[in-house]
Structure 1
């Protein structure tokens, strides 16, 4: 340990470290344990669905706090309680009130009469400047529709690229996908080659950057609607990975017609049919809907109607509703009973949606420009910085 700047060394004296927050393995757990204890002492409850979320209800009023390391957001409809909470936290910790939320962990927040808009425009522009892509030609889609990305072992003639640079860029794109569901599939694909990237993989990353160049300010808008219904879209691309023939599944979830969560991920096992791949995707989508329902329940909102999960595969819906076990479904037996149980309890509905209206299609495969932009417009994505 080194002496702090400005201090003078003295013979026979040593430094005693009273408190360390950063750099130690146990420090995050110790800090969060201390913070959680303080919040519970002040009368707040910790959500079981999201342990970083704390809330306090008084009648029809609620105050919510969410924390990420040492950054906090406080919101709610009880002004007196929010003022009391800030005063209490100021006595417990060294903190500063930054006022109305405008910028949080690289995410920009804008408000208007239409709702709340989230984007990462500055983050995108800084990334483009760092990579020298600010003057590049924009791309219409984040990934080529007929891409053939695969492992190096399958094509040993491919030229390796700078591994550290590739990992750094993909890591930044993963963080950017927090407000950009339009690049979720492309980022999911390029992140599968972090251990041994080649020039073709790097070109795919640069293609994503060129797409971001076309609309760096694109983001999500959250508007007020008359309901808080929960619904989702799930889809799967059967055996889409050329290296191991695994399928890619994805889902979008909406609360009150506002997009809140999404995911694009390669499945962990090989599916023997398209119905099986869709079936596994449905199970993941239902899990996400149940989590959202529990989270809203913690905040005092209890949806009365069944949650709808839209799927464009009729075979998987028929398997879920079929009370008879079949030999072809033995290997997805647990998922089948899980889905069947939620259907019988009227918690979930599986309405069919035509493939042309399947929003989750952009999370499972690279599609053409027209269908891609049509899908993201239905997700509630817009660009308030675009010229009118």
Structure 2
């Protein structure tokens, strides 16, 4: 039976804490977008554009300073940038057609999508405990739907079907983006990922702005009240994109998406204290359910890691051989890197190898080369 000491590992606490920090950042972007909307500014692509530019300037400068060689083909980042830009655009656009309740509920589609994609492409295996944690999280969010908080919101928008389809499409693209980032951050380079995501995201956003948002930008009166939420949104998104790879590397895409479920609940709690709005009791119950689900999903990683270590040095060598081969290049992904990418919630497998096992592995290999340990 798993003890609390094994359950509350450092990895668990870091995953939970970082997940809620990212959730609060998303909450702040929601407040910023709401303020811009109240001022008649509806330019979602333009809001994201500045974030992509910041990512390019900051992380691109680091990459140029280190003179790092590319570990992935540039066109993979073009596709990732396109998926990321359109995912953001579709979900924000959906608010114009359907209710916030529908957006919240349908956005959960990203969770089973992520689990399916990681199972197929990253070979992630989900134990019953993790599946139970996901179910509890989603059940907590569903409670919100039956809350009186949204009693007046169930009438829907001007075109609910169109809005719902936009959310589902956006959530699917989010899942593809998250899983792609998880693979790249574990097998390529984090700075490279953020730099090129920012670069191609900025280029694609600029093209999209010139086509569908140029008139909206011309009509904006740039007062201090409009500039503050606009730049605040960009700063929050910059921090979000900067820390997402950390959570993806330590806990995986599913943990990220589960953590972001609390963003809407944080928003309600903040509004209740800042603006003294009345909050239905079921909202707090839902928040507690999601929190419990997150703990169930992320807890006990140390025990699982120790269990997997008993498979022997042979299994470790097999798993290690599936890591991304820098010398062979990114073209080897389909041959072995996908099958060998680190499992969600199990990315610190190398930590459980004892010094004795390391020595034995070095002796057995006897290739005359130094063993290179993969570092994030």
When normalised by structure 1's length, the TM-score is: 0.21
Structure showing greater Rg: 1
Bigger fraction of residues in helix: 2
Bigger fraction of residues in strand: 1
Query: Larger relative CO (CA 8 A, sep 6+): 1 or 2?
Result: 2
